[in-house]
Amino acid sequence: QKEVEQNSGPLSVPEGAIASLNCTYSDRVSQSFFWYRQYSGKSPELIMSIYSNGDKEDGRFTAQLNKASQYVSLLIRDSQPSDSATYLCALGRGSEKLVFGKGTKLTVNP
Amino acid sequence: EAQVTQNPRYLITVTGKKLTVTCSQNMNHEYMSWYRQDPGLGLRQIYYSMNVEVTDKGDVPEGYKVSRKEKRNFPLILESPSPNQTSLYFCASSPEPSGGSYEQYFGPGTRLTVT
């Protein structure tokens, strides 16, 4: 199993809908998890960090972490066309690095 | 403005011609790292540094060198570039020395083409 797995998509949702992005990971030791948004040709931009089980909300974004099941998800409510991007899931491996998934491409249709 | 800057943003070069990509951050961050991003392979770490004069290899260090003489700068050096180093490169920094467990902030990227 790859260290961080994401469905590559593309995931297509209509404007105003909830977009659900999922990520599974294999390293049970990881304690820190992140969601980045990357527009085409641009750098990754941090959206959310989550360190403990449960939900964490920030505006239209909610991150969910379940360490027992080894998954982390990102919900985007009231999706906008400007949310169309690739979303990268990352986890902290020790103190050295982030390990990234390959990303899920999201398209929000007007 | 708090930021990570990289130069150049775009570079086309020839095989074997040494080059340096600069990275600088103005946030007084302890941790800095270099990644490359390739289609189908995602972001992979090249080198990282937890503090001045402390650097270590990431997942794909072959063909690259780095140095960390000052806290704010972390240049990436390609002594003899080859076409397989054609990629999009990102520098990142984090306020904590243990940057792997903390938020990292990325520079704008450098698109390198080696012919």
Judged by DSSP in three states, B101 sits in helix
Supply A106's token pair.
């999201």
Q: Tokens 């659900």 — which residue?
A: A20
- Please list every residue in chain A whose beta carbon sits closer than 8 Å to the beta carbon of residue B101: 31-32, 92, 94-95
Judged by DSSP in three states, B83 sits in helix
Q: Is B103 on the interface with A (CB under 8 A)?
A: yes
Contact A95 B107 (CB under 8 A): no
Q: How does pLDDT run across A29-49, given as a tens digit for each residue?
A: 888 999 999 999 999 999 999
Q: How does pLDDT run across A64-101, given as a tens digit for each residue?
A: 999 999 999 999 999 999 999 999 999 988 878 889 99
Helix, strand, coil share (%) of chain B residues, nearest 5: 5, 50, 45
Residue of B nearest to A98 (CA): B100
**pLDDT in the model for residue B100:** 77
Q: Tokens 């998890």 — which residue?
A: A33
Q: How does pLDDT run across B11-58, given as a tens digit for each residue?
A: 999 999 999 999 999 999 999 999 999 998 999 999 999 999 999 999
Residue of B nearest to A4 (CA): B42
Residue of A nearest to B39 (CA): A102
CA nearest to A32, candidates A20, A44, A46, A18: A46
